[in-house]
Amino acid sequence: MNQTLEMPTLYTRLSKMGFPPKFIREKALPEWWNSDLEENPVAVMEAAGYISKRLGLDIASVFNPNVPIKFKKVKSPKFKKRQNTDEQSLLVAQGLATRIAEIAGYACKYPVNELAADASQIRKTILKNHSCVDLESLISFCWSCGIPVIHFSDFPQNTSKMDGMAAHLNGRPIIVISSGQKFSARLVFVIAHELGHIACGHVQDGVLVDQDINKEIQDDEEKEANQFAEKLLFGETIYRWEQISNPIDLVQIASKFGNQDRVDPGVVALNYAWQKSDWGIGTTALKIIEPNANASAKINHFLNENLDWEELSKDSQEYLKLVTGV
């Protein structure tokens, strides 16, 4: 522990974890850092502290050049992953997302309210003030319950990605969405699924990582979260689709069904694509319904509005803004 911390060694050790030097320089070092400071042992020590805090690393392991660097310990993490993926490869995504969740949870303006375990009850609450359960109305509901929703996907280039994460940290449930999908209808299902994990008690203290959210998975918790999401978005409505040959026809049918059933038309179009495995027509329909889709920016607009930024240190503010684009 008495050994001097040197920047080249630190870069090498972080690279072994999955953090290349370029990522560290762009995301983990403070604004005042420059390469001239690499020769200054005091500045390197200070930089190591910033890196540890921003990336959620175990600070003792960062300062000890003789041991591998580790993330801070998370209680009983769960990984819902593809069969050919090992948990180790998801640790970087999980570690970074957990740190972002911690920051947002700490600065959330609202107390945690009890969440109904029944999706129908949540749907009824949302429909009191909104025409359907769509991206904006669901995110607004989550924040009103003291559940921050964040879009965060600023991972190192070769990191194994995830669709989303449900967390319960420091007494607060938090949802992190990392899917790169740009359409609101795609991401509202991911949020509804993660909310399902929270409402159904799948994550009591710690994090649950969903690598892929699809109908082919698998275990009981994933099935329960999918069922929760479907009930929240569709109510009791079940669609039985015939083949549709034209995306404009799908848009018209989705709009008609959406109005009569109080379901987001984009979610209706997506339901067709899922059922018929017709992603070409489904995706073209979504482009017509939401021509300037940028769902991640919509999510983080709520983040910006609903955090008490003054609660955060200057560096936490800087880092959160840098990686979420707010």
Same domain? 221 vs 256: no
Same domain? 54 vs 144: no
DSSP-derived secondary structure for 220-248: HHHHHHHHHHHHHHHTT----PPP---HH
Q: Return the structure tokens found at 231.
A: 């009930």
Q: Could you tell me if residue 188 is inside a domain? A: yes
Q: Is 43 helix (H, G, I), strand (E, B) or coil?
A: helix
Same domain? 91 vs 225: yes
Same domain? 117 vs 189: yes
Q: Could you tell me if residue 72 is inside a domain? A: no
Count CB atoms within 10 A of the CB of residue 120. 13
Same domain? 185 vs 125: yes
Same domain? 137 vs 232: yes
Location of structure tokens 């200054």: 40
Same domain? 224 vs 272: no
Same domain? 120 vs 161: yes
Same domain? 130 vs 150: yes
E-state strands within 138-275: 149-151, 164-169, 172-177, 206-210
pTM: 0.94
Q: Could you tell me if residue 69 is inside a domain? A: no
* Whole-number pLDDT of residue 5: 87
- Walking along the chain (326 residues) 10 residues at a time, the average pLDDT comes out as 79 94 94 90 94 95 92 83 65 94 96 94 98 98 98 91 94 96 97 97 92 74 94 96 96 97 98 95 98 97 97 95 95
* Whole-number pLDDT of residue 1: 43
Q: How many domains does the chain have?
A: 3
Calpha distance 173→206 (Å, rounded): 9
Quote the domain boundaries for residue 94.
78-236+294-324
* Whole-number pLDDT of residue 55: 96
What is the sign of the dihedral through the CA atoms of 104, 108, 114 and 119?
A: negative
* Whole-number pLDDT of residue 87: 61
Same domain? 221 vs 123: yes
Calpha distance 324→305 (Å, rounded): 13
Same domain? 32 vs 131: no
Same domain? 245 vs 276: yes
- Give the DSSP H or E segment for 249: helix 247-261
